Amino acid sequence: MKAILCEKHGPPSDLVLKDMPSPKPKDDQVIVTVKACSVNFPDTLIIQGKYQFKPDLPFSPGSDISGIVKEVGEKVKNVKVGDEVFGFVRYGGFAEEVAVHKSQVFPKLPNMSFPMSASFMLAYGTSYHALKDRAQLKEGETLVVLGASGGVGLAAVELAKNMGARVIAAASTDDKLNLCKEYGADAIINYSKEDLKNRIKELTDGKGADVIYDPIGDKYTEPALRATAWKGRYLIVGFAAGEIPKIPMNLPLLKGCQIVGVFWGSFSLKNPSASLQNSMELMQMFSQKKINPYIQKLYPLEDAPKALEDMMNRKVKGKVIVTMA
Ligand SMILES: NC(=O)c1ccc[n+]([C@@H]2O[C@H](COP(=O)([O-])OP(=O)(O)OC[C@H]3O[C@@H](n4cnc5c(N)ncnc54)[C@H](OP(=O)(O)O)[C@@H]3O)[C@@H](O)[C@H]2O)c1
Protein backbone atom coordinates (compact mmCIF):
# COMPACT_ATOMS: atom_id res chain seq x y z
CA MET A 1 0.00 0.00 0.00
CA LYS A 2 1.08 3.59 -0.61
CA ALA A 3 1.51 6.10 2.19
CA ILE A 4 2.69 9.66 2.62
CA LEU A 5 5.59 9.44 5.06
CA CYS A 6 7.22 11.89 7.41
CA GLU A 7 10.79 10.54 7.63
CA LYS A 8 12.23 13.65 9.31
CA HIS A 9 10.51 16.60 10.99
CA GLY A 10 10.09 19.56 8.67
CA PRO A 11 7.78 21.31 6.18
CA PRO A 12 5.25 19.48 3.95
CA SER A 13 7.78 19.51 1.07
CA ASP A 14 9.88 16.99 3.06
CA LEU A 15 7.08 14.40 3.01
CA VAL A 16 7.51 11.44 0.62
CA LEU A 17 5.12 8.96 -1.03
CA LYS A 18 6.30 5.38 -0.49
CA ASP A 19 5.18 1.76 -0.73
CA MET A 20 4.71 0.22 2.69
CA PRO A 21 3.68 -3.23 3.95
CA SER A 22 -0.05 -3.47 4.78
CA PRO A 23 -0.78 -3.11 8.53
CA LYS A 24 -1.95 -6.20 10.44
CA PRO A 25 -4.69 -5.79 13.08
CA LYS A 26 -4.07 -6.29 16.80
CA ASP A 27 -6.97 -7.99 18.66
CA ASP A 28 -8.79 -4.70 19.23
CA GLN A 29 -8.01 -3.05 15.89
CA VAL A 30 -9.75 -2.62 12.56
CA ILE A 31 -7.81 -2.29 9.28
CA VAL A 32 -9.55 0.26 7.08
CA THR A 33 -8.95 0.67 3.35
CA VAL A 34 -8.87 4.47 3.42
CA LYS A 35 -11.03 6.34 0.90
CA ALA A 36 -10.64 9.84 2.32
CA CYS A 37 -8.75 11.62 5.09
CA SER A 38 -9.38 15.26 5.91
CA VAL A 39 -6.61 17.75 6.64
CA ASN A 40 -6.58 19.31 10.09
CA PHE A 41 -4.24 21.95 11.47
CA PRO A 42 -2.61 19.52 13.95
CA ASP A 43 -1.32 17.56 10.90
CA THR A 44 0.76 20.61 9.95
CA LEU A 45 2.26 20.66 13.47
CA ILE A 46 2.90 16.94 13.90
CA ILE A 47 5.12 16.75 10.78
CA GLN A 48 7.24 19.60 12.18
CA GLY A 49 7.59 17.89 15.57
CA LYS A 50 5.62 20.76 17.16
CA TYR A 51 2.51 18.89 18.35
CA GLN A 52 1.63 17.63 21.83
CA PHE A 53 2.86 14.13 20.96
CA LYS A 54 5.63 13.03 18.62
CA PRO A 55 5.16 9.68 16.83
CA ASP A 56 8.29 7.63 16.11
CA LEU A 57 9.70 8.33 12.65
CA PRO A 58 8.77 7.44 9.99
CA PHE A 59 4.99 7.92 10.25
CA SER A 60 2.08 9.13 8.11
CA PRO A 61 0.15 12.19 9.26
CA GLY A 62 -3.66 12.36 8.92
CA SER A 63 -6.27 11.53 11.54
CA ASP A 64 -9.85 11.94 10.29
CA ILE A 65 -10.50 8.98 8.00
CA SER A 66 -13.30 7.20 6.18
CA GLY A 67 -13.16 3.99 4.19
CA ILE A 68 -14.07 0.30 4.04
CA VAL A 69 -13.24 -2.32 6.67
CA LYS A 70 -10.62 -4.69 5.24
CA GLU A 71 -9.80 -6.83 8.29
CA VAL A 72 -10.75 -6.97 11.97
CA GLY A 73 -8.95 -8.19 15.10
CA GLU A 74 -10.35 -11.08 17.19
CA LYS A 75 -12.00 -8.81 19.80
CA VAL A 76 -13.76 -6.51 17.30
CA LYS A 77 -17.54 -6.88 17.29
CA ASN A 78 -18.83 -3.41 16.34
CA VAL A 79 -17.91 -3.56 12.62
CA LYS A 80 -17.23 -6.31 10.08
CA VAL A 81 -15.28 -6.71 6.85
CA GLY A 82 -16.90 -4.72 4.02
CA ASP A 83 -18.59 -2.12 6.27
CA GLU A 84 -18.31 1.51 5.22
CA VAL A 85 -16.97 3.44 8.20
CA PHE A 86 -15.40 6.63 9.41
CA GLY A 87 -13.03 6.99 12.30
CA PHE A 88 -10.23 8.73 14.10
CA VAL A 89 -6.54 7.92 14.48
CA ARG A 90 -3.85 10.10 16.04
CA TYR A 91 -1.81 9.71 12.83
CA GLY A 92 -1.52 7.32 9.88
CA GLY A 93 -4.48 8.49 7.76
CA PHE A 94 -2.63 9.73 4.65
CA ALA A 95 -2.21 6.14 3.51
CA GLU A 96 -4.15 3.55 1.56
CA GLU A 97 -4.65 1.45 4.72
CA VAL A 98 -4.63 2.24 8.41
CA ALA A 99 -5.12 0.40 11.71
CA VAL A 100 -7.80 2.02 13.91
CA HIS A 101 -8.79 1.13 17.49
CA LYS A 102 -12.27 -0.46 17.51
CA SER A 103 -13.64 2.27 19.81
CA GLN A 104 -12.79 4.93 17.20
CA VAL A 105 -14.58 3.34 14.21
CA PHE A 106 -18.23 4.11 13.44
CA PRO A 107 -20.64 3.08 10.67
CA LYS A 108 -20.80 5.70 7.92
CA LEU A 109 -24.20 7.19 7.18
CA PRO A 110 -25.41 5.89 3.80
CA ASN A 111 -26.20 9.41 2.57
CA MET A 112 -22.78 10.77 3.59
CA SER A 113 -19.97 10.51 1.01
CA PHE A 114 -16.51 9.29 2.04
CA PRO A 115 -15.01 12.82 1.84
CA MET A 116 -17.93 14.26 3.83
CA SER A 117 -17.58 11.53 6.49
CA ALA A 118 -13.84 12.26 6.78
CA SER A 119 -14.50 15.98 7.21
CA PHE A 120 -16.73 15.55 10.18
CA MET A 121 -15.38 13.99 13.33
CA LEU A 122 -12.55 16.26 14.46
CA ALA A 123 -13.92 19.64 13.31
CA TYR A 124 -17.55 19.18 14.35
CA GLY A 125 -16.67 16.97 17.34
CA THR A 126 -14.35 19.68 18.70
CA SER A 127 -16.72 22.57 18.13
CA TYR A 128 -19.76 20.76 19.50
CA HIS A 129 -17.83 19.70 22.62
CA ALA A 130 -16.57 23.29 23.01
CA LEU A 131 -19.96 24.98 22.67
CA LYS A 132 -22.17 22.40 24.35
CA ASP A 133 -20.02 20.88 27.11
CA ARG A 134 -17.41 23.55 27.83
CA ALA A 135 -19.22 26.88 27.22
CA GLN A 136 -22.77 25.61 27.79
CA LEU A 137 -23.82 28.09 25.12
CA LYS A 138 -27.45 29.17 25.55
CA GLU A 139 -30.09 30.28 23.09
CA GLY A 140 -29.93 34.06 22.60
CA GLU A 141 -26.30 34.40 23.74
CA THR A 142 -23.75 36.07 21.48
CA LEU A 143 -20.80 33.98 20.29
CA VAL A 144 -17.72 35.38 18.56
CA VAL A 145 -15.80 32.84 16.45
CA LEU A 146 -12.19 33.71 15.52
CA GLY A 147 -10.71 32.01 12.43
CA ALA A 148 -14.37 31.51 11.58
CA SER A 149 -13.95 30.16 8.04
CA GLY A 150 -11.48 27.43 9.07
CA GLY A 151 -12.30 23.79 9.80
CA VAL A 152 -13.28 24.04 13.46
CA GLY A 153 -14.33 27.70 13.06
CA LEU A 154 -16.96 27.17 10.39
CA ALA A 155 -18.27 24.15 12.29
CA ALA A 156 -18.64 26.41 15.35
CA VAL A 157 -20.55 29.01 13.32
CA GLU A 158 -22.96 26.41 11.96
CA LEU A 159 -23.47 24.57 15.26
CA ALA A 160 -23.97 27.77 17.27
CA LYS A 161 -26.70 28.91 14.86
CA ASN A 162 -28.40 25.53 15.41
CA MET A 163 -28.15 26.11 19.16
CA GLY A 164 -29.95 29.45 18.82
CA ALA A 165 -27.00 31.79 19.42
CA ARG A 166 -26.26 35.06 17.68
CA VAL A 167 -22.96 34.52 15.84
CA ILE A 168 -20.28 37.08 15.02
CA ALA A 169 -17.73 35.58 12.62
CA ALA A 170 -14.20 37.03 12.54
CA ALA A 171 -11.69 36.19 9.82
CA SER A 172 -8.95 37.73 7.66
CA THR A 173 -10.60 38.23 4.24
CA ASP A 174 -13.97 39.31 2.87
CA ASP A 175 -14.12 36.12 0.80
CA LYS A 176 -13.76 33.98 3.94
CA LEU A 177 -16.37 36.10 5.73
CA ASN A 178 -18.84 35.69 2.87
CA LEU A 179 -18.68 31.93 3.41
CA CYS A 180 -19.33 32.48 7.13
CA LYS A 181 -22.44 34.49 6.22
CA GLU A 182 -23.62 31.64 3.98
CA TYR A 183 -23.18 29.37 7.01
CA GLY A 184 -25.39 31.58 9.15
CA ALA A 185 -23.18 34.29 10.70
CA ASP A 186 -25.29 37.27 11.81
CA ALA A 187 -22.42 39.76 11.78
CA ILE A 188 -18.81 39.74 10.59
CA ILE A 189 -15.47 41.28 11.52
CA ASN A 190 -12.50 41.42 9.16
CA TYR A 191 -9.65 41.45 11.69
CA SER A 192 -7.04 42.25 9.07
CA LYS A 193 -8.76 45.64 8.58
CA GLU A 194 -10.85 46.26 11.71
CA ASP A 195 -9.99 46.57 15.41
CA LEU A 196 -11.15 43.29 16.92
CA LYS A 197 -11.92 44.51 20.44
CA ASN A 198 -13.73 47.67 19.38
CA ARG A 199 -15.81 45.90 16.72
CA ILE A 200 -16.93 43.17 19.14
CA LYS A 201 -17.93 45.88 21.62
CA GLU A 202 -19.79 47.84 18.92
CA LEU A 203 -21.63 44.76 17.70
CA THR A 204 -22.72 43.88 21.26
CA ASP A 205 -23.83 47.40 22.32
CA GLY A 206 -20.81 47.74 24.59
CA LYS A 207 -21.64 44.59 26.58
CA GLY A 208 -19.08 42.23 25.01
CA ALA A 209 -19.57 38.67 23.80
CA ASP A 210 -21.01 35.98 26.07
CA VAL A 211 -18.75 33.33 24.53
CA ILE A 212 -15.59 33.60 22.45
CA TYR A 213 -14.32 30.62 20.44
CA ASP A 214 -10.57 31.00 19.84
CA PRO A 215 -8.71 28.49 17.64
CA ILE A 216 -6.00 30.98 16.59
CA GLY A 217 -4.36 32.52 19.69
CA ASP A 218 -1.35 34.83 19.17
CA LYS A 219 -2.13 38.58 18.89
CA TYR A 220 -5.88 37.94 18.56
CA THR A 221 -6.52 36.50 22.03
CA GLU A 222 -5.98 39.51 24.29
CA PRO A 223 -8.20 41.97 22.36
CA ALA A 224 -10.92 39.33 22.12
CA LEU A 225 -10.69 38.54 25.84
CA ARG A 226 -10.96 42.28 26.54
CA ALA A 227 -14.26 42.21 24.62
CA THR A 228 -15.74 39.36 26.68
CA ALA A 229 -18.95 40.09 28.59
CA TRP A 230 -19.37 39.96 32.36
CA LYS A 231 -19.50 36.24 33.31
CA GLY A 232 -18.51 35.31 29.75
CA ARG A 233 -16.68 32.14 28.70
CA TYR A 234 -13.48 32.31 26.65
CA LEU A 235 -12.80 29.01 24.84
CA ILE A 236 -9.14 28.17 24.22
CA VAL A 237 -9.20 25.83 21.22
CA GLY A 238 -5.84 26.29 19.47
CA PHE A 239 -3.03 28.53 18.29
CA ALA A 240 -3.16 28.43 14.49
CA ALA A 241 -1.82 31.99 14.26
CA GLY A 242 1.46 30.93 15.90
CA GLU A 243 2.27 32.06 19.43
CA ILE A 244 0.61 30.77 22.59
CA PRO A 245 -0.51 34.08 24.13
CA LYS A 246 0.40 35.19 27.64
CA ILE A 247 -2.65 36.79 29.23
CA PRO A 248 -2.77 39.47 31.97
CA MET A 249 -4.59 37.58 34.72
CA ASN A 250 -6.44 40.69 35.89
CA LEU A 251 -8.70 40.38 32.83
CA PRO A 252 -10.72 37.34 33.93
CA LEU A 253 -10.98 38.92 37.40
CA LEU A 254 -12.36 42.21 36.04
CA LYS A 255 -14.87 40.44 33.83
CA GLY A 256 -15.85 37.66 36.22
CA CYS A 257 -15.33 35.46 33.17
CA GLN A 258 -14.00 31.95 32.69
CA ILE A 259 -11.10 30.92 30.48
CA VAL A 260 -12.02 27.41 29.43
CA GLY A 261 -9.72 24.85 27.81
CA VAL A 262 -11.05 22.62 25.03
CA PHE A 263 -9.29 19.37 24.08
CA TRP A 264 -11.57 17.10 22.09
CA GLY A 265 -9.03 14.26 21.71
CA SER A 266 -8.63 13.86 25.48
CA PHE A 267 -12.37 14.32 26.05
CA SER A 268 -13.20 11.49 23.63
CA LEU A 269 -10.67 9.16 25.32
CA LYS A 270 -11.52 10.09 28.93
CA ASN A 271 -15.29 10.29 28.41
CA PRO A 272 -16.10 7.96 25.50
CA SER A 273 -19.83 7.64 26.26
CA ALA A 274 -20.38 11.44 26.25
CA SER A 275 -18.27 11.72 23.11
CA LEU A 276 -20.32 8.98 21.41
CA GLN A 277 -23.52 10.76 22.42
CA ASN A 278 -22.18 13.99 20.84
CA SER A 279 -21.25 12.09 17.65
CA MET A 280 -24.75 10.62 17.45
CA GLU A 281 -26.30 14.07 17.90
CA LEU A 282 -24.06 15.44 15.14
CA MET A 283 -25.03 12.57 12.82
CA GLN A 284 -28.66 13.33 13.50
CA MET A 285 -28.13 17.02 12.67
CA PHE A 286 -26.48 15.97 9.40
CA SER A 287 -29.33 13.58 8.55
CA GLN A 288 -31.84 16.35 9.26
CA LYS A 289 -29.82 18.66 6.97
CA LYS A 290 -29.16 21.07 9.84
CA ILE A 291 -25.41 20.95 9.22
CA ASN A 292 -23.48 20.50 5.99
CA PRO A 293 -19.65 20.56 6.16
CA TYR A 294 -18.11 22.80 3.49
CA ILE A 295 -15.50 20.97 1.40
CA GLN A 296 -13.32 23.37 -0.57
CA LYS A 297 -11.17 20.89 -2.46
CA LEU A 298 -10.15 17.23 -2.85
CA TYR A 299 -6.46 16.32 -3.29
CA PRO A 300 -5.13 12.93 -4.49
CA LEU A 301 -2.88 11.13 -1.98
CA GLU A 302 0.34 12.22 -3.72
CA ASP A 303 -0.73 15.87 -3.30
CA ALA A 304 -1.27 15.63 0.48
CA PRO A 305 1.85 17.82 1.04
CA LYS A 306 0.25 20.53 -1.13
CA ALA A 307 -2.96 20.32 0.93
CA LEU A 308 -0.93 20.80 4.13
CA GLU A 309 0.94 23.72 2.56
CA ASP A 310 -2.33 25.39 1.54
CA MET A 311 -3.58 25.10 5.11
CA MET A 312 -0.38 26.61 6.52
CA ASN A 313 -0.66 29.47 3.99
CA ARG A 314 -4.24 30.32 5.12
CA LYS A 315 -5.67 29.32 1.74
CA VAL A 316 -8.19 26.82 3.10
CA LYS A 317 -11.88 27.53 3.74
CA GLY A 318 -13.88 24.87 5.58
CA LYS A 319 -12.27 21.50 4.95
CA VAL A 320 -9.84 20.06 2.39
CA ILE A 321 -9.67 16.32 1.91
CA VAL A 322 -7.05 13.85 0.70
CA THR A 323 -8.67 11.05 -1.31
CA MET A 324 -7.38 7.60 -2.27
CA ALA A 325 -8.22 5.88 -5.57
N1 LIG B 1 -8.54 21.79 21.06
C2 LIG B 1 -8.91 20.83 20.24
O3 LIG B 1 -9.47 19.81 20.65
C4 LIG B 1 -8.66 21.03 18.78
C5 LIG B 1 -9.18 20.15 17.82
C6 LIG B 1 -8.96 20.45 16.46
C7 LIG B 1 -8.18 21.54 16.10
N8 LIG B 1 -7.66 22.33 17.09
C9 LIG B 1 -6.88 23.52 16.79
O10 LIG B 1 -7.73 24.47 16.19
C11 LIG B 1 -6.97 25.29 15.33
C12 LIG B 1 -7.65 25.36 13.97
O13 LIG B 1 -7.63 24.06 13.37
P14 LIG B 1 -8.33 23.85 11.94
O15 LIG B 1 -8.09 22.43 11.57
O16 LIG B 1 -9.70 24.40 11.96
O17 LIG B 1 -7.37 24.79 11.03
P18 LIG B 1 -7.75 25.72 9.75
O19 LIG B 1 -8.85 25.11 9.00
O20 LIG B 1 -6.46 25.97 9.08
O21 LIG B 1 -8.27 27.06 10.42
C22 LIG B 1 -7.39 27.88 11.13
C23 LIG B 1 -7.73 29.33 10.88
O24 LIG B 1 -6.75 30.09 11.58
C25 LIG B 1 -6.60 31.33 10.95
N26 LIG B 1 -5.21 31.78 11.03
C27 LIG B 1 -4.80 32.94 11.56
N28 LIG B 1 -3.48 33.07 11.48
C29 LIG B 1 -3.02 31.97 10.86
C30 LIG B 1 -1.73 31.55 10.48
N31 LIG B 1 -0.64 32.27 10.73
N32 LIG B 1 -1.61 30.36 9.85
C33 LIG B 1 -2.69 29.60 9.60
N34 LIG B 1 -3.98 29.96 9.96
C35 LIG B 1 -4.13 31.15 10.58
C36 LIG B 1 -7.05 31.16 9.50
O37 LIG B 1 -8.12 32.09 9.29
P38 LIG B 1 -7.88 33.60 8.87
O39 LIG B 1 -6.99 33.60 7.65
O40 LIG B 1 -9.25 34.04 8.58
O41 LIG B 1 -7.26 34.27 10.05
C42 LIG B 1 -7.60 29.74 9.41
O43 LIG B 1 -8.84 29.68 8.76
C44 LIG B 1 -5.56 24.71 15.30
O45 LIG B 1 -4.74 25.44 16.17
C46 LIG B 1 -5.75 23.30 15.78
O47 LIG B 1 -4.59 22.78 16.36
C48 LIG B 1 -7.89 22.11 18.40
**C-beta of 241 in contact with ligand 1 (< 6 A):** yes
Residue 246 lies in a domain: yes
Give the domain CATH number at 46.
Answer: 3.90.180.10
Question: How confident is the model over 216-236, as a mean pLDDT?
Answer: 98
Distance 101 CA to ligand 1 centre (A): 26
**C-beta of 40 in contact with ligand 1 (< 6 A):** yes
**C-beta of 261 in contact with ligand 1 (< 6 A):** no
Give residue-wise pLDDT tens across range 167-189.
Answer: 999 999 999 999 999 999 999 99
Give residue-wise pLDDT tens across range 117-146.
Answer: 999 899 999 999 999 999 999 999 999 999
**C-beta of 172 in contact with ligand 1 (< 6 A):** yes
Question: What is the predicted pLDDT for the residue at 52?
Answer: 85
Residues 79 and 112 in one domain: yes
For residue 213, list its beta bridge partners: 145, 235
Residue 84 lies in a domain: yes
Residues 158 and 134 in one domain: yes
Residues 6 or more apart whose CB falls under 8 angstroms from that of 205 comprise none
Question: What is the predicted pLDDT for the residue at 43?
Answer: 97
Residue 282 lies in a domain: no
| Final residue in a domain of this structure, among 247, 265, 283 | 265
Distance 239 CA to ligand 1 centre (A): 7
Residues 108 and 140 in one domain: no
Q: What is the pTM of this model?
A: 0.97
Residue 13 lies in a domain: yes
User: pLDDT confidence of 53, banded at 50, 70, 90?
Assistant: confident
Residues 100 and 137 in one domain: no
User: pLDDT confidence of 252, banded at 50, 70, 90?
Assistant: very high
Nearest to 263 by CA among 127, 105, 115: 127
Give residue-wise pLDDT tens across range 265-282.
Answer: 999 989 989 999 999 999
Residues 114 and 133 in one domain: no
Residues 73 and 207 in one domain: no
Question: How confident is the model over 189-196, as a mean pLDDT?
Answer: 98
**C-beta of 264 in contact with ligand 1 (< 6 A):** yes
Question: What is the predicted pLDDT for the residue at 225?
Answer: 98
User: pLDDT confidence of 10, banded at 50, 70, 90?
Assistant: very high
The count of structural domains within the chain is 2
Question: What is the predicted pLDDT for the residue at 263?
Answer: 96
Question: What is the predicted pLDDT for the residue at 4?
Answer: 98
Question: What is the predicted pLDDT for the residue at 127?
Answer: 98
Residues 22 and 106 in one domain: yes
Contact 140, 210 (CB under 8 A): no
Residue 207 lies in a domain: yes
Question: How far is Cα 308 from Cα 85, in angstroms, rounded to an integer?
Answer: 24
Domain enclosing residue 49, as ranges: 2-120+293-323
Give residue-wise pLDDT tens across range 84-116.
Answer: 999 999 999 999 999 999 999 999 999 899 999
Residues 193 and 151 in one domain: yes
Residues 48 and 146 in one domain: no
Residues 101 and 191 in one domain: no
Residue 261 lies in a domain: yes
Question: What is the predicted pLDDT for the residue at 205?
Answer: 98
pLDDT above 90 (res 62): yes
Nearest to 323 by CA among 60, 45, 63, 96: 96
Residue 283 lies in a domain: no
Residues 140 and 91 in one domain: no
Residues 51 and 77 in one domain: yes
Distance 304 CA to ligand 1 centre (A): 18
Give the domain CATH number at 255.
Answer: 3.40.50.720
Residue 153 lies in a domain: yes
What percent of the chain has pLDDT above 70? 100
Q: Which residue has its alpha carbon closest to ligand 1 atom 32?
A: 241
**C-beta of 259 in contact with ligand 1 (< 6 A):** no
**C-beta of 215 in contact with ligand 1 (< 6 A):** yes
Question: What is the predicted pLDDT for the residue at 325?
Answer: 82
Question: How confident is the model over 230-238, as a mean pLDDT?
Answer: 98
Question: How far is Cα 108 from Cα 86, in angstroms, rounded to an integer?
Answer: 6
